[in-house]
Chains A and B, each alone.
Chain A
Amino acid sequence: EIVLTQSPATLSLSPGQRATLSCRASQIIMNNYLAWYQQKPGQAPRLLIFEASNRATGIPVRFSGSGSGTDFTLTISSLEPGDVAIYYCQQRSNWPWRFTFGPGTKVDI
């Protein structure tokens, strides 16, 4: 099973600052099948990024993803108060498909 580790656990920044969130995998993630989700309190997760660097429909351009292999990054270029949330990375392994999530990074403003 591929284990995902996220850092930092908590990120406290000010509005307008840049947030850099890391996701590291215990094995190479094939085809960059790595996604990022945002979960606000009391809500379901929302897809932000898929295949490591593709923004989902309706996601603002200040959210960007990068990386390959075992190291991936989610960047929020200019934080807004509405970005307070927990951010999770998630991967899908090769067949038979298995899906795992990272433990999350909490972003506070």
Chain B
Amino acid sequence: QEQLKESGPGLVKPSETLSLTCTVSGDSVRSSNYYWNWIRQPPGEGLEWVGFVSHTGSTTYNPSLRSRVTMSLDTSRDQFSLKLTSVTAADTAIYYCARGDSLSGMFDVWGQGSLVTVSS
């Protein structure tokens, strides 16, 4: 059964870089059937798509975050990662990694989420 799990620091200082990794099990990030997403949710608020990395390593980001986001793929470890630079309190959120289906646009497998707080 496919599972995704986020890992990374739970606390980041303002102006620094947020870094998270998602480990995929029961599946391969090399599959062309899927793309690998980050989605975030500020406490008590709705969901915001951050971006995705494809099985080839190509990326597409939310235009509102594009200048600060970098995503990458590690096929040897079946992991993908997120870096968000120059963070502020507004970036405090639960960050989910999620598998996206290439055909239908749905997110069919989600990680449990990782709360990242931006605070000094």
Enumerate chain A interface residues (CB-CB to B < 8 A): 1, 33, 35, 37, 44-47, 50-51, 56, 88, 90-92, 96-104
Asked if residues B60 and A47 are in contact (CB atoms below 8 Å), the reply is no
User: Within 8 Å CB of A51, what residues of B?
Assistant: 104, 106
Query: Which B residues are within 8 Å of any A CB, using their own CB?
Result: 37, 46-49, 52, 60, 62-63, 96, 100-101, 104-108, 110-113
Inter-chain residue pair count (beta carbon < 8 A) = 58
With beta carbons under 8 angstroms apart, the residue of A35, A97, A102 that contacts B106 is A35
| Contact A97–B111 (Cβ < 8 Å) | no
State whether A50 and B112 are in contact (beta carbons under 8 Å apart), knowing that A88-B47, A101-B48, A104-B46 are contacts in the complex: no
> Knowing A97-B60, A100-B49 touch, does A44 contact B112 (C-beta < 8 A)?
yes
Q: What are 21 of the A-B contact pairs (CB < 8 Å)?
A: A1-B63, A33-B105, A35-B104, A35-B107, A44-B96, A44-B110, A44-B113, A45-B110, A47-B108, A50-B108, A56-B108, A88-B46, A88-B47, A97-B52, A98-B49, A98-B62, A99-B100, A100-B49, A101-B47, A101-B48, A101-B49
